[in-house]
Structures are given as C-alpha cells and as structure tokens.
C-alpha cells in the first residue's frame, strides 16, 4: 500500500526539509509514501501571476482567486480523477486519530493550503471534498496544517512505523491517553522508576499501564474518558483511582 500526497501551495519550499527527516523521510525513501508540491502560482494566466485579490464587499486582507486553484486541482485530477481533495481551514472538521486513520485509506490525497484570508468560497463549494482543521487557532497559512495531516495519516501506512509498530497501539487508541513511559537510569536524582516496570511480570505491567492510562485520561481529558469503551476491569480501576485521589 503506497500513499500519494499532492500539496497545493504558494510556498512549496516549506515542505523541503520537515518531511524529509526521520520516519517520514525513510517512508519516502522506501516508497511507502510519495509527497509532491504543486505551486498554485504556476496556474495563473496573467504575466504578473496574480493569485489573490481584494474581497468583494470590502474588508481587510486578500482572498485567494478561484481560477489558479481550480486549474491546479484539475491538473492533478487529470492524472488521477479519484484523488480526494482536502482544504485545511479553521472552519474544517477537527483532526483526530480516527479521522487520520480514515484518511489513510485514501490512496491519493490533494491537500489545499490557504493563505491570506482564505480561498474564494466557490473553491469550497465545487472543488473540495472535505475541510479539516488542526485546531481552533489561526495560522498564517495551511502549510503547517498540511504537514500535520501528512504526519498523522502516514503513521497508519503499513511499514511507515517500522515492522513491529502499528499506529493502532497509540495514544487515543480506544481514546485513552498514553501511560507514563520510563527508560534507564532506574534512579534519577532519587526519582525511581515504578518497581512493577522492573519486575518482568508482564500481566502486572499491563495492568499498571492500563490503570495509569485511565488515571492520566481522567485527570487531563475527562471528555475522552466519557467517549472511551471501558471494560468492567477499567471501571474497577477507576474506582481505585478515585479512592486513591481522596486518600
Ligand atoms: C488552519 C487551521 C488555519 C487560516 C487563514 C490559513 C489559516 C489562512 N488550517 N487548521 N487552524 N489556516 O489556521 O487548518 O489562510
């Protein structure tokens, strides 16, 4: 399974290094993912290569023109009509692990990066399949959001995380936060690693990890706990945690 990402942007150089390092860099070398940038300015038709204009009705800032974006999307879809087009915008669906997993089933994603006040509404009406937001804040451009999507989605591609690992084990898997992680030294300035983790008793270790994942989630993201499918054992562990909180 190979996944293709075509990134429509006015700043293709932003993608030169971040996606070439570490796990994603290796995934590209192994041909597991392919990342191409498409410069929207190359699809202007005037000699000044104008990509933005003032908003009808007045107001501050500039709006990205529809024609260059339409031609850019159509140039990619001419090679693959089934490519799925995503516009990164604060008005989009919040990105979360399940959405990233779903997007990873698409063999070819077109990621449209906005700039200025955003794109002409007719782009969203007729050229975009889905809108995604990486968070409730305003960026100067959609490029960083596109990188976040590529990173989160690529982790679901078999072989990207390395043979033994799968994104299925991650945080947010069945929507609990990760349990605490430790490594050598066993004692750092008097702060010791929990005994159970040094015990080699794997059932005790996984029970401890489940309990700590529940504790972290109840403390930091009770909203996630409300959505999690909890087993009877989980509920017993949560009672213990609540008792411990009051002792
Ligand atoms: C954004 C976000 C985001 C809005 C105006 C680009 C900027 C500018 N994209 N999640 N948050 N985009 O802030 O995806 O055009």
pLDDT in tens, 162-198: 765 666 666 555 678 999 999 999 999 999 999 999 9
Question: What number is the average pLDDT over the span 19-43?
Answer: 94
* Catalytic one of 155, 212, 215, 234: 155
Distance CA 169, CA 186 (A): 25
Kindly state if the Cβ of 148 falls inside 6 Å of ligand 1.
no
Average pLDDT rounded to a whole number, residues 116-141:
98
Q: Supply the DSSP symbol for 127.
A: T
CA distance 194 to 52: 58
124 is catalytic: no
User: What's the 116 CA to ligand 1 centre distance in angstroms?
Assistant: 9
Q: Can you tell me the distance from the alpha carbon of 145 to that of 133, in angstroms, rounded to the nearest whole number? A: 8
* Ligand 1 pocket, mutate which of 90, 94, 133, 152 (most atoms under 8 A from CB): 90
Task: Say what the pTM is.
Answer: 0.91
Confidence of residue 20 (pLDDT cuts 50, 70, 90): confident
Rounded distance between C-alpha atoms, residue 99 and residue 132, angstroms:
9
117 is catalytic: yes
C-alpha span between 28 and 33 (Å, rounded):
5
Whether 18 sits among the annotated catalytic residues: the reply is no
pLDDT at 208 over 90: yes
Model pLDDT, residue 245: 83
Name the average pLDDT for the chain.
94
Residue with tokens 């006015």: 10
CA atoms 133, 135, 137, 140: torsion sign: negative
**Average pLDDT over every residue of 112-140:** 98
């Amino acid at each position: 399974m190979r996944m293709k990402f075509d990134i429509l942007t006015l700043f293709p150089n932003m993608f030169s290094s971040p996606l070439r390092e570490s796990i994603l860099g290796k995934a590209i070398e192994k041909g597991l993912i392919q990342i191409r940038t498409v410069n929207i300015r190359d699809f202007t038709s005037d000699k000044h290569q104008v990509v933005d204009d003032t908003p009808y009705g007045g107001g501050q800032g500039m709006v990205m023109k529809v024609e260059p974006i339409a031609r850019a999307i159509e140039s990619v879809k001419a090679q693959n009509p089934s490519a799925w087009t995503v516009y990164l915008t604060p008005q989009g669906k919040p990105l979360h692990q399940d959405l990233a997993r779903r997007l990873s089933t698409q063999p070819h994603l077109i990621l449209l990066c906005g700039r200025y006040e955003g794109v002409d509404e007719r782009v969203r009406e007729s050229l975009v399949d889905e809108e995604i937001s990486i968070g409730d804040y305003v960026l100067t451009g959609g490029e960083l959001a596109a990188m976040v999507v590529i990173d989160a989605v690529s982790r679901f591609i078999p072989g990207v995380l390395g043979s033994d690992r799968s994104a299925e084990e991650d945080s947010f898997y069945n929507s609990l936060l990760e349990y605490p992680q430790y490594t050598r030294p066993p004692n750092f300035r008097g702060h010791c690693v929990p005994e159970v983790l040094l015990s080699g008793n794997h059932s005790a270790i996984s029970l401890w990890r489940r309990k700590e994942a529940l504790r972290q989630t109840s403390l930091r993201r009770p909203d996630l706990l409300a959505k999690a499918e909890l087993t009877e054992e989980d509920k017993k562990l949560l009672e213990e945690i609540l008792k411990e909180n009051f002792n």
